[in-house]
Amino acid sequence: MLGAKSPDSGGQGRFCWLRSAGAGAGAAGLGVWLSRNSLRPEVALATTARHGHGVPADPALPEMAIIQGDDPALLARQAVEELGGMRRFVSRGDIVLVKPNIGWDRTPEQAANTNPDVVAEIVRQCLGAGAKRVIVTDVSCNEARRCFQRSGIAEAAQRVGAEIILPDPSRFKDVDLKGEVLREWPYSILSSMSTRSSTYRSPNTTHSRAQLLE
């Protein structure tokens, strides 16, 4: 049983426990499928990685877009357009990391994770803006393979051309992030991520706002 801190916790820190339990043939088959279609993070570049991927502020554009409706993919598309379009954030040749909420072993109907249609739309837009690769990952609170599968995100993201990375707690390293508030934190980075990359954090499916973070 392995524990990993979740960065959205308070001062005490929230621990999400990844449990290894016996699973049936379906879960075992899913594990093989995800293992063959995913990459594992490495720590070699953790201390030299670029930590900021912000874009210059534009007074003509809002800092946040709030869109309401019933079509998750359309909501994501309209929100990004309101913020200036994906080409404002992604350049040709970039490697993009999309970080949805894939924390829970729940189906899309239970609305605990980011809607898979939102993730797929963001991936499509990143690739359409010229991204070389789009990677989708998260540090799950429940068992990661089940979270990625039952949320529908692994299938939806791969269907439109994204790569899936499963969290591996053994590959995390405590790194001094040199932040004003957040200093040392478990950190992982892909050895194949370039210094010119972008990070997109997609919202939970129960919210209709899209937020682009540095």
- pTM higher than the cut 0.85: no
In sequence order, the β-bridge partners of residue 210 are: 65
Residues paired with residue 97 on neighbouring β-strands, in sequence order: 135, 199
pLDDT of 97 above 80: yes
Residue whose C-alpha is closest to residue 4's, from 212, 188, 198: 188
> In the predicted model, is pLDDT for residue 28 greater than 80?
no
Q: For 35-56, give one letter per residue: b (16+ CB within 10 A) or e.
A: eeebeebbbeebeebeeebeee
User: Tens of pLDDT along 34-60?
Assistant: 655 555 544 455 445 555 667 888 999
pLDDT at 122 over 60: yes
* Residue 87 DSSP one-character state: G
Q: Are 96 and 197 in contact (CB under 8 A)?
A: yes
For residue 135, what pLDDT is reported? 94
22 pLDDT above the threshold of 90: no
CB atoms within 10 A of CB 169: 14
- Tell me which residue range forms the domain holding 101: 2-210
Token couple for 61: 């554009």
Using the structure block, give the residue that is written with the tokens 């004003």: 180
| Number of domains the chain is built from | 1
According to the model, what pLDDT value does residue 210 have? 34
pLDDT given for residue 194 in this prediction = 44
pLDDT, tens digit (0-9, with 9 covering 90-100), for 171-193:
677 888 777 887 787 776 554 45
* 105 neighbors 67 (Cβ within 8 angstroms): no
pLDDT confidence of 20, banded at 50, 70, 90?
very low
Give the whole-angstrom CA distance, residue 31 versus residue 164.
12
Residue 50 pLDDT: 58
Q: What is the pLDDT of residues 189-201, one digit of tens each?
A: 554 454 345 555 5
Residue 194 to residue 213: CA distance in whole angstroms: 18
Q: What is the mean pLDDT of residues 202-214?
A: 39
User: What is the pLDDT averaged over residues 90-113?
Assistant: 95
Q: Please, is 6 exposed, middle or buried when counting C-beta atoms within 10 Å of its C-beta (0-12, 13-18, 19+)?
A: middle
Q: Which amino acid is at 157?
A: A
Instruction: Give the span between the Cα atoms of 38 and 56, in whole angstroms.
Output: 33
